Chain A
Amino acid sequence: MMLSRLAEQLYWHGRYIERAEGLARLINVNAHLNLDLPDRIAPGWETLVRISGNAALFTELHGADTSERNVTRFLIADERNPDSIRSALELARENLRAARDLLPREVWEQMNRLYLDTRERINGTLSKRRRHEALNELILGSQLISGMLMGTMSHDHVYDFILIGRHLERADVTTRIVDVRADDLLPEDVEELLPFESIQWMSVLKSLTGYQMYRRHVRLRVNGPDVLKFLLTDRLFPRSVMYCLETLEVFLADLPGEDDGALRSTLALKRRLDHTRTAPLRGPALAAFIDEVQIELADIGRQIAATWFLEE
């Protein structure tokens, strides 16, 4: 027996901490791309604003000035942005507050530490080096909570809801990171740009800590179609969309109730990924496909809320 309110809060804790971690990864990958590529084809920062889903708010605050400083500040430390890292961490913490007694004590303490330390680190103007450091610390801190849950917590419904939140958000983050790359329209047939193509996909993999796993399991030179396939449909890599869906499937099947809408939506999206030839997708076609996957992920979220949470 578990209160719907607590289930909801644990789920949102999971989503927000994963969102903060995902944003940190997104910013890091974009920073790398900008360093690695010649200026004329470097992606700049405007893409991140679009992908974060808060473009209107950004324009309201900064107009068209998508400088690195403005964008990173907006995505990392701005309290006015409800999806900034700072806001997401705060919500991850607040959603854990009432449920803290259901978890090992260390988890609540680590959540507090992560929130307070990060807030301290991202305060004021950030040099590139300090920013990178702060984001890496945040990623590690979030991984530490994951590890604590996995290693010290009974895998009951409390655990289920946190993990459902984390995997749904993680799938979403991975699609957004692919999106960063999809947005960049390299002319396909320009021979001289090919080396950069490989660099870009390497950065994408690294941002998801997936480079080594890719090398071991795919065993191919890093190239767009295979990386895309790996990130969307690999069944072993824990940040691939397919892996997240399979995990969701296991947890959702474990929950009580007759309404299996969320489970059916998850299975449908899995089938869709299985039946789509992702490798040849590029540019606008890829962006459109990613959009559809994101819409279906949001639908799974809605079904979860309708089935197990407090109706408003």
Chain B
Amino acid sequence: MDFNDYRSGAFHDELITASGRPRAAARVLWKYLKSLDRDELDERKAACEVAALVAGITFRVYFEDTGIDRAMPFDLIPRVIQKREWDRVAAGLQQRVRALNLFIDDLYNDQAIIHDGVVPAELIHGSVNFREQCRGFSPPLGIWAHVCGSDLVRDGDGTIYVLEDNLRIPSGVSYMLENRQVMKKVFPELFENSRIQPVDEYASQLFEMLASLSPRLAEHPGVVVLTPGAYNSAYFEHAYLAQQMGVELVEGRDLMVDDDDRVWMRTIGGLEPVDVIYRRIDDAFLDPEAFRPDSLLGVPGLMRAWRAGTVALANAPGAGVADDKVVYSWVPEIIRYYTGEAPLIANVPTFKCSDPDERAHVLAHLEELVVKPANESGGYGMLIGPRSTKKERAEFKRLIEADPRNYIAQPTLALSTCPTMVDGAVEPRHIDLRPFVLSGRQTWVTTGGLTRVAMKSGSLVVNSSQGGGSKDTWIIDTDRDQSNRKGGGA
């Protein structure tokens, strides 16, 4: 493979420096890739595709009604991060998720953070994800977001930022696990020669965490994964995780809640008790008694059972209150308030238009900023400064001044790149990273996470539903490499 013409321009590249040399953690990989000729590379790329297909890494996209599973694009060049840097990021994520859980628990109970004047009361009143049904309740251990997937990006200056936190039902971890399996099959020699940290502990960590939530003292608590069904786009992951943990994959109709608020699963041998539900169904569809009465996916009475403490739900209903855009802008204050510590990992600098000084800054720099409304999602109602017209900016000036509390603004980010195979050549493509944080008695962070890559040149859209692909993510311990080296050879 030829890196001579590889240039990532103004962007920070994860593997190659501006002068065209490999970064420390990527050195072994770089040497290896350079040693491969075109045929060897093609052979490995084909092997990757076959391995991915066989492993069933497929992202379900329906072509008419054929239901053919289309493989999610997988790029064979991994993304590499130094262990030293990753340890700092992981500590920051643990701190962040701990604080967010304390925040959610506080919001549904005493609301001390509001009474102490740290965040405004409007934060809750305006949130579409605040659930009245959860008021005055605290789940076991006070934990609401048991599985968190935070999206990290690296800006042009090399700093890693949290772009958003997904506290409801984050997905993608199965791709992280399967990508590693594929890479080990295709590049066994690399795994022998460099210190790539393993990732396969996830399923057992997830199971341990879920089992620890069981309200019933039982040697084998009844843990299940609750899926909306085989037509859901993430069904592959639901089935995969259930299989890896050795637990049942259930649909709403497989469960029932009895008059004593106990949850049971219907089997051919009769009813079996259920203690912990890893649910992959949105809040609104979880229980037709408590939320949408027209939901056919949920389990009538589930909220009753949850509040009675006979069953644990992961993530807890209502956890999503902490992942909207305005709450995001307050996370640094939230971390300081609950932990008494400074945040270890940064938010993307965010201006709150409710603050007069920050508003003035936003209004003066509209053509450089991205302005987002608080309660819209999916990119609606946004102003992308550098691509906006004078008229649009004038319109947003008016909107912000009319309702400052409803807007935040962020600088446009220069997402980092990673070398990616495109038609046999290697080109820079933008990437992000989604690590997963598990919270039970302990907080545990995946080693790396799922690296998503925008396969189109210049594109910043990494979502799999829009043609984004993924890469394996290597956390490499170069410190240990050096201390263990006995001289000679690399």
CB under 8 Å from chain A, chain B span 213-255:
229-230, 239, 243, 248-251, 253-254
Would you call A310 an interface residue if the criterion is a C-beta within 8 Å of the partner chain's C-beta atoms? Answer: yes
Considering the chains assembled together, what is the distance between the CA atoms of A31 and B392 in angstroms? 72
Binding-face segment, B20-28, B131-139, B266-274, B317-325: B266-274
Which residues from A are CB-within-8-Å of B251? 5, 98
Contact B268 A310 (CB under 8 A): no
Would you call A89 an interface residue if the criterion is a C-beta within 8 Å of the partner chain's C-beta atoms? Answer: no
Would you call B265 an interface residue if the criterion is a C-beta within 8 Å of the partner chain's C-beta atoms? Answer: yes
Which residues from B are CB-within-8-Å of A116? 66
Would you call A308 an interface residue if the criterion is a C-beta within 8 Å of the partner chain's C-beta atoms? Answer: yes
CB under 8 Å from chain A, chain B span 12-59:
none
Would you call A132 an interface residue if the criterion is a C-beta within 8 Å of the partner chain's C-beta atoms? Answer: no
Contact B243 A101 (CB under 8 A): yes
Q: Shortest distance in angstroms between A54's beta carbon and chain B's nearest beta carbon?
A: 23
Would you call A2 an interface residue if the criterion is a C-beta within 8 Å of the partner chain's C-beta atoms? Answer: yes
Would you call A220 an interface residue if the criterion is a C-beta within 8 Å of the partner chain's C-beta atoms? Answer: no
Considering the chains assembled together, what is the distance between the CA atoms of A98 and B66 in angstroms? 16
Task: Please encode chain A, from 139 to 157, with 1 for each CB lying within 8 Å of some chain B CB and 0 for all others.
Answer: 0000000000000000001
Contact A3 B254 (CB under 8 A): yes
Contact A310 B66 (CB under 8 A): no
Most chain B CB inside 10 Å of its own CB: which residue of A4, A7, A97, A310: A4
Q: Shortest distance in angstroms between A98's beta carbon and chain B's nearest beta carbon?
A: 5
Would you call A41 an interface residue if the criterion is a C-beta within 8 Å of the partner chain's C-beta atoms? Answer: no
Would you call A257 an interface residue if the criterion is a C-beta within 8 Å of the partner chain's C-beta atoms? Answer: yes
Contact A5 B229 (CB under 8 A): no
Q: Shortest distance in angstroms between B482's beta carbon and chain A's nearest beta carbon?
A: 45
- Given A97-B230, A98-B230, A101-B239, answer yes or no on A1-B269 (Cβ-Cβ < 8 Å): yes
From A97, A112, A157, give the contact of B268 (CB < 8 A).
A157
Task: Please encode chain A, from 218 to 243, with 1 for each CB lying within 8 Å of some chain B CB and 0 for all others.
Answer: 00000000000000000000000000
Contact B267 A3 (CB under 8 A): yes
Which residues from A are CB-within-8-Å of B268? 2-4, 7, 157, 255-257, 308
- Interface band, chain A: 10 to 19
- Given A98-B229, A98-B230, A101-B239, answer yes or no on A5-B254 (Cβ-Cβ < 8 Å): yes
Considering the chains assembled together, what is the distance between the CA atoms of A83 and B243 in angstroms? 34
Which residues from B are CB-within-8-Å of A157? 268
From A7, A112, A257, give the contact of B270 (CB < 8 A).
A257
Q: Shortest distance in angstroms between B436's beta carbon and chain A's nearest beta carbon?
A: 23
Task: Please encode chain A, from 103 to 131, with 1 for each CB lying within 8 Å of some chain B CB and 0 for all others.
Answer: 00000000010001000000000000000
Considering the chains assembled together, what is the distance between the CA atoms of A39 and B199 in angstroms? 74
From B67, B230, B239, B254, give the contact of A4 (CB < 8 A).
B254
Nearest B-chain residue to A161, judged by Cβ: B268
Contact B269 A5 (CB under 8 A): no
Considering the chains assembled together, what is the distance between the CA atoms of A255 and B267 in angstroms? 12
Nearest A-chain residue to B239, judged by Cβ: A101
From B229, B230, B267, give the contact of A2 (CB < 8 A).
B267
Q: Shortest distance in angstroms between A140's beta carbon and chain B's nearest beta carbon?
A: 22
Q: Shortest distance in angstroms between A312's beta carbon and chain B's nearest beta carbon?
A: 9
CB under 8 Å from chain A, chain B span 329-369:
none
Task: Please encode chain A, from 1 to 41, with 1 for each CB lying within 8 Å of some chain B CB and 0 for all others.
Answer: 11111010000000000000000000000000000000000
CB under 8 Å from chain B, chain A span 88-103:
97-98, 101
Which residues from B are CB-within-8-Å of A256? 268-270
From B229, B230, B239, B250, give the contact of A3 (CB < 8 A).
B250
Considering the chains assembled together, what is the distance between the CA atoms of A73 and B419 in angstroms? 56
- Given A101-B239, A310-B253, answer yes or no on A3-B265 (Cβ-Cβ < 8 Å): yes
CB under 8 Å from chain B, chain A span 256-298:
256-257
Contact B266 A4 (CB under 8 A): yes
Nearest B-chain residue to A98, judged by Cβ: B230
Contact B239 A310 (CB under 8 A): no
Contact A1 B272 (CB under 8 A): yes
Which residues from B are CB-within-8-Å of A310? 253-254, 266
Most chain B CB inside 10 Å of its own CB: which residue of A2, A7, A98, A116: A98
Considering the chains assembled together, what is the distance between the CA atoms of A112 and B243 in angstroms? 22
Which residues from B are CB-within-8-Å of A101? 239, 243, 249
Which residues from A are CB-within-8-Å of B250? 3
CB under 8 Å from chain A, chain B span 61-76:
66-67
Which residues from A are CB-within-8-Å of B269? 1-2, 256-257
Considering the chains assembled together, what is the distance between the CA atoms of A111 and B2 in angstroms? 45
Considering the chains assembled together, what is the distance between the CA atoms of A2 and B268 in angstroms? 6
Contact A3 B270 (CB under 8 A): no
Which residues from A are CB-within-8-Å of B249? 101
Considering the chains assembled together, what is the distance between the CA atoms of A98 and B254 in angstroms? 13
Nearest A-chain residue to B66, judged by Cβ: A116
Considering the chains assembled together, what is the distance between the CA atoms of A308 and B270 in angstroms? 8
Q: Shortest distance in angstroms between A308's beta carbon and chain B's nearest beta carbon?
A: 5
Considering the chains assembled together, what is the distance between the CA atoms of A3 and B272 in angstroms? 10
Contact A5 B230 (CB under 8 A): no
Which residues from B are CB-within-8-Å of A7? 268
Q: Shortest distance in angstroms between A285's beta carbon and chain B's nearest beta carbon?
A: 40
Considering the chains assembled together, what is the distance between the CA atoms of A4 and B266 in angstroms? 6
Which residues from B are CB-within-8-Å of A98? 229-230, 251
Considering the chains assembled together, what is the distance between the CA atoms of A94 and B253 in angstroms? 17
Q: Shortest distance in angstroms between B453's beta carbon and chain A's nearest beta carbon?
A: 28
Considering the chains assembled together, what is the distance between the CA atoms of A116 and B63 in angstroms? 13
Considering the chains assembled together, what is the distance between the CA atoms of A112 and B268 in angstroms? 27
Q: Shortest distance in angstroms between B266's beta carbon and chain A's nearest beta carbon?
A: 4
Q: Shortest distance in angstroms between B310's beta carbon and chain A's nearest beta carbon?
A: 20
Which residues from B are CB-within-8-Å of A112? 67
Nearest A-chain residue to B250, judged by Cβ: A3
Contact B243 A5 (CB under 8 A): no
Considering the chains assembled together, what is the distance between the CA atoms of A294 and B24 in angstroms? 76
Considering the chains assembled together, what is the distance between the CA atoms of A112 and B66 in angstroms? 9
Nearest B-chain residue to A93, judged by Cβ: B67
CB under 8 Å from chain B, chain A span 198-254:
none
Nearest A-chain residue to B272, judged by Cβ: A1
Most chain A CB inside 10 Å of its own CB: which residue of B249, B254, B267, B272: B267
Considering the chains assembled together, what is the distance between the CA atoms of A307 and B66 in angstroms? 34
Task: Please encode chain A, from 145 to 183, with 1 for each CB lying within 8 Å of some chain B CB and 0 for all others.
Answer: 000000000000100000000000000000000000000
From B66, B230, B267, give the contact of A1 (CB < 8 A).
B267
Nearest B-chain residue to A256, judged by Cβ: B269
CB under 8 Å from chain B, chain A span 45-104:
97-98, 101
Nearest A-chain residue to B256, judged by Cβ: A310
26 CB-based A-B contacts, threshold 8 Å: A1-B272, A2-B267, A2-B268, A3-B250, A3-B265, A3-B268, A4-B254, A4-B268, A5-B251, A5-B253, A5-B266, A97-B67, A97-B230, A98-B229, A101-B239, A101-B249, A112-B67, A255-B268, A256-B268, A256-B269, A257-B268, A257-B269, A257-B270, A308-B268, A310-B253, A310-B254
Given contacts A3-B268, A4-B268, A257-B270, 9 further A-B contacts (CB under 8 A): A1-B272, A3-B248, A3-B265, A3-B266, A5-B266, A97-B67, A97-B230, A256-B268, A310-B266
Closest 9 CB pairs of A and B: A256-B269, A4-B266, A98-B230, A97-B230, A308-B268, A7-B268, A2-B268, A5-B254, A3-B254
